[in-house]
Amino acid sequence: MIDLKLLQKDFQGVSDKLIRKGVDISLLDSLKRKNEELKAAKAEYEALQAAQNAMSKEFGIYKKEGKDVSELKARVDANKIKITEALEVQRIKQEELESLAMSIPNIPDDDVPDGEDENDNVEIKKVLTPREFSFTPKEHWELAEQNGWIDFERGVKLATSRFSVAFGMGAKLERALINFMLAFNSKRGFEEVSVPSIVNRAALEGTGQLPKFEDDLYKIQDQELFLIPTAEVPVTNLFQDEILSPSQLPIKMTAYTSCFRKEAGAAGRDTRGMIRQHQFHKVELVSITKPEDSDKVFDEMVQTASDLLSALELPHRLVTLCSGDLGFGAAKTVDLEVWLPGQATYREISSVSNTREFQARRAKIRYKDENKNSFVHTLNGSSLAVGRTMVAIMENFQNEDGSITIPKALEPYIN
């Protein structure tokens, strides 16, 4: 959640930054109105409380001087009722403001480039040179079916569209990638954790998926429980409503989970193959840091994901997302896009984001900062999406006869 105190202090400055992210001006006007209503409610309560304090002093003087206090007592009692009512109004206005603020995205960093969508993202650099083929490279779904690695029809039979089943070497490659990624990340200082695939509403509110993106989530019927869309949710919320000691930070974690998304906002996109599935596997990086360390840790996470792709000999590029393409909770994001020769384009395979204190404020994750409690910074990133990594391996390591060579880095992980 954005800092409401900052909003009250500099509404115009915060609004200008949020407009860069595409926030509707009418929503900001509503936020301003709710903020002003809360300030008025607080002023009313404080005025009544000041009057109560003054009458209490006057009451003491009357008693001391032996004066009749009945009229004053009536005014004091009437004012107490007004104070109770004003306090309730203030509570309601506070809840209304916070509820509306929960739907407001994070403020983008000042160095995030302006732009409306992915076409305005800025390339940082390319890593590794794409292979030149002496034949026309096939797309991954054709290679997967030819080699018997992935069965899309049986996935539909078991569930619905955008589900698939891995067989034989496809299943082994999937498992090898998960183990390789976890081992690689562990060597980079990220502690491996294993977390539930089902979380409660508070966890999803903490990392920003709720309330805005409920239509994209799979909900357990008759329960306030959801299948996770990413390991970022349970891993970040491990420290929900906790006060950490400075010596614990930074906390750097890596986790493998299955992820579940309805992809409600992606109808008609990537309907073939494994690019956009309802269930997919992913290895995640999550860090919790002091504010002054978050930029350094952010760079480490980007480098870890890039080095992982390099270890797999997969050409890729790093891209800074523009303001209009930033995710809801992100203040800054670098995407890693892998080269897919079958499509002759780069496609996203990892997204590393610094949310600053946006998630920490929602999830109440703090640390002891000298004599006060301060919000930590939280960061997250894919390292990597397993299905998309399989896609990249199939397309980049294909041979003319349709067979696929296994990258050397994965050989120790496959029998």
> Tell me, what DSSP letter sits at residue 25?
H
201 belongs to the catalytic site: no
232 is in an annotated binding site: yes
263 is in an annotated binding site: yes
Tokens 């995030």 appear where? 112
Rounded to 5 degrees, what are φ and ψ at 402? 95, -10
Nearest-angstrom CA–CA distance, 302 and 389: 16
SS3 call for 161:
coil
What is the four-CA torsion angle of 307, 309, 310, 313, rounded to 10 degrees? 160
261 is in an annotated binding site: yes
Q: Check: CB of residue 352 under 8 Å from CB of residue 305.
A: yes
| CA dihedral for 237, 241, 246, 248, sign (positive or negative) | negative
366 is in an annotated binding site: no
Nearest-angstrom CA–CA distance, 253 and 373: 23
131 belongs to the catalytic site: no
Tokens representing 367 are: 């640390």
349 is in an annotated binding site: yes
53 is in an annotated binding site: no
Residue of 276, 313, 317, 347 marked catalytic: 276
382 is in an annotated binding site: yes
Nearest-angstrom CA–CA distance, 273 and 37: 51
311 is in an annotated binding site: no
19 is in an annotated binding site: no
188 belongs to the catalytic site: no
CB atoms under 10 Å from CB of 51, counted, come to: 15
Strand partners, 379: 287, 354
42 is in an annotated binding site: no
247 is in an annotated binding site: no
284 is in an annotated binding site: yes
Nearest-angstrom CA–CA distance, 148 and 46: 72
351 belongs to the catalytic site: yes
Tokens representing 401 are: 């006869």
SS3 call for 406:
coil
142 belongs to the catalytic site: no
Residue of 20, 261, 356, 361 marked catalytic: 261
Residue of 15, 306, 351, 383 marked catalytic: 351
Residue ranges of the binding site for ATP: 261-263, 348-351
Residues with catalytic annotation? 261, 276, 348, 351, 388
Q: Which residues are annotated as a binding site for L-serine?
A: 230-232, 261, 284, 380, 382
Q: List residues forming the annotated binding site.
A: 230-232, 261-263, 284, 348-351, 380, 382
